[in-house]
Structure 1
Amino acid sequence: MRTLKKLATVAASLAAVVFAQAGHAAEGFVDSASFEVGTNPQQRMFRAAAQKDWQQRWFAGSGRHLSGYWEGSLALWQLDAYRNVPGQEKNIAVIGFTPVLRYQADSKLGLYAEAGIGVNLFSSLYKNRDKELSTAFQFGDHVGVGYTTPKWDLGLRFQHYSNASIKRPNGGANWVTVKAAYRF
């Protein structure tokens, strides 16, 4: 119960930081802010992020085009078997920056598909259960689908983190996440 309260406090703090930036949307600083929750059998993740849309449109035709956005994020990972010790919990903060390509309707409403590859910096080395990432620097990539309304963007992502074998071990970490973004 104590861990759940701590996670809720950190998640609320992350969301407050991102949404506090919303006041800058009129000046073009951010176009949306999101909150994600992810899980897998070994850990949980909470992430707050801010997005800035690109104004470019590629491969336009039939009412659809390829575009994208920049995403800056701050996440909390809660590990449940740090250093392969069951029950030993560890929280890791992750800051990231990702360019994301999105195939969407010209109106930017309705169904979309997206993919991104970015960079992430971990607050400490990841060692959980039988997986280990030997560097604090990690690449993060994802593929996702979702649906956008004039104010909300709801999505589902498959996310993968690894250091591209810069240093071994490089066990990788995979997530399925649910995302809700509010558009300003």
Structure 2
Amino acid sequence: MVYRLGTQFDFSSSWFQTSVGRLTGYWDAGYTYWVGDETASNHSLSFTPVFVYEFAGQSVRPFVEAGIGVALFSSTEMEDNDLGSSFQFEDRVGLGLRFANQEVGVRALHYSNAGLQTPNDGVEAYTLHYRLSF
């Protein structure tokens, strides 16, 4: 089980705007609490730039997103996985819907040290998310 609390800051500009949609993005900073069954629970801090392609729409705007950032874990052990180091890269892909000042979606997150240390078992998380913009 994974619990995550994050904050996001939108990029100040967008690119390739057409009648189909636009490319934009956000900076994501998060704290994640990883509940473990076999080993002690783990904590991580992450920071990731995320690029978003938002399709055009009046009231509902579908989107896809992808990003690569960095994360620091409190322990290199995660269940049966040995991360090799506390420093990890965070890769993410997701999709969802934006409406009014809200967003719902799904994401896949992968953490790995990219072979900088061995072992490099890595770990994944799959999330449902909700975002409220102020």
Would the TM-score normalized by the shorter structure come out above 0.5? yes
Note the residue ranges of structure 1 that are not aligned, 5 or more in a row: 1-43, 83-89
1: CA distance, partners of 2:78 / 2:103: 33
Query: What is aligned with 2:50?
Result: 100
Show the counterpart of 2:37.
Answer: 80
Unaligned runs of 5+ in 2: none
Deviation at 1:161, TM superposition (A): 0.5
State how 1:3-42 maps to structure 2 within 5 Å.
none
Counterpart pick for 1:59 among 3, 11, 16: 16
Pairing of 1:27-176 with structure 2 (within 5 A)? 44-82=1-39, 90-105=40-55, 109-129=60-80, 131-176=81-126
Q: For 2:43, what is the secondary structure of its paired residue?
A: strand
Q: Give the deviation of 1:156 after TM superposition.
A: 0.2
Name the structure 2 match of 1:23.
Answer: none
Q: Once the 2 structures are TM-superposed, how far is the Cα of residue 126 of structure 1 from its aligned partner? A: 2.2
Greater share of helix: 1
Contact 2:42 2:78 survives alignment (8 Å) = no
Name the CA distance, whole Å, in 2 between partners of 1:62 and 1:151. 21
Percentage identity across aligned positions? 35
TM-score by length of 2: 0.92
Partners of 1:127 and 1:154 in 2: how far apart? 28
For the Cα contact (< 8 Å) 2:32–2:45, is it kept in 1? Answer: yes
| Cα distance between partner residues in 2 of 1:172 and 1:181 | 27
1:88-115 deviations in whole A, cap 9, x for unaligned?
Answer: xx11110110000000035795100000
The answer to whether the 8 Å contact 1:150/1:183 transfers is no
Tell me the SS of whatever aligns to 1:61.
coil
Q: Greater strand share, 1 or 2?
A: 2
Q: Encode CA deviations 1:108-132: one digit per residue, 9 max, x unaligned.
A: 9510000011100111222412x21
Moved over 4 A (4+): 106-109
Query: Per the alignment, in what secondary structure is the counterpart of residue 16 of structure 2?
Result: strand
* One-letter amino acid matched to 1:120: A
Q: Deviations over 1:143-173 (max 9, x none)?
A: 0000011121101011111000110000111
TM-score, normalised to structure 1's length?
Answer: 0.68
Deviation of 1:142 after TM superposition, in Å, equals: 0.7
Task: Supply the AA of the counterpart residue of 1:126.
Answer: E
